A and B are shown apart, each in its own frame.
Chain A
Amino acid sequence: MEKCTTEDIDRYIHNEMSPSEKQQWDKEIKSDKKLDKEIKLHEEIEEAIREKDIIRLRKTLSEIIKTGYSQEKNNNYHLKEPSRIAAMS
């Protein structure tokens, strides 16, 4: 296809093309593997943006992992606290 902008693909995905234009695209996609791939990429990206639940879960998990981390660090820090070492010796 000569010109194939983000806008064109977006309009195709969201059924905003005239019937004749859409028909032409349908035909084109069948023979143009690159275009087909590009459209699939657009669709996947849209689906990924819709996954608010997963974005949220990943955020919660990364926070838990981070604090799990700092807790460990704090513990280590306490063990090495000078006053304790002094008290132990």
Chain B
Amino acid sequence: MKHYSNNKIIHGILQNNNSILQYIYNEYYPGINLYILKNNGIEEDANDVFQEGLIIIYRKIKDNQYFLKCSFGTYLFSICKLLWLKHLRQRKTRFLVLEKLPIYLINKKNQDIIDTIEKNERYKLYQKYFLRLGKDCQKTLQLFMDEVPLKKIATLMGYKNEKYAKKKKYKCKENLINNIKQDREFKELENTN
């Protein structure tokens, strides 16, 4: 089987390169899956942890905070482990069992990565609800975020005037925010952070 260097892998993640991502999956998913299954998880958890683990690495690369001190596989595995431990901890707080944090999670060296993990948790939730909005709302908000001129947004979306385009934006945003606020996970995140 083909083998990719760390650099190639990192480049591939940044480029959203399908064959590199497939390679990462083939190469590292089984180990992560096994770890999660052995530690009170199910296949679905493994999928989620693997996916978010890679997204966290992507965030790190983009922020220039990814330094290769170890092989890519080791790095991915340790992030997935951290994600899973954190998840188990949250699951326990759900059942109101208070427990000390594993040293692993409070180690100062890990604070950067913990911050990224927490940011990713929140943003994943926001994005989930964004993608559940109607196509019109998604597109309108995206155009506003891209700072497309108001006049152009109105034309592109077929809104009768600029005032209406703005109104639409507020309405879509309000919907989105209300949906996010009603999410159970969001309430939990608010309480723990």
Q: B-contacting residues of A (Cβ < 8 Å)?
A: 5-7, 10, 41-42, 44-58, 60-62, 64-65, 68
Contact = CB atoms under 8 A, between A and B. Distances in A.
Contacts of B122: 44, 48
Nearest to A65: B47
Which of B13, B29, B131, B173 has the largest number of chain A CB atoms within 10 A?
B173
B173 A64 contact: no
Contact of A48 (B50, B126, B173): B126
Contact of A61 (B54, B142, B180): B54
B174 A6 contact: yes
Given A6-B173, A44-B122, A49-B141, 12 more contacts: A6-B170, A6-B174, A45-B126, A47-B123, A48-B126, A49-B130, A55-B127, A60-B16, A61-B25, A64-B18, A65-B25, A65-B50
Interface in B1-49: 13, 16, 18, 21-22, 25-26, 29, 47
Interface residues of B, number: 33
B72 interface: no
Query: Main SS of chain A's interface residues?
Result: helix
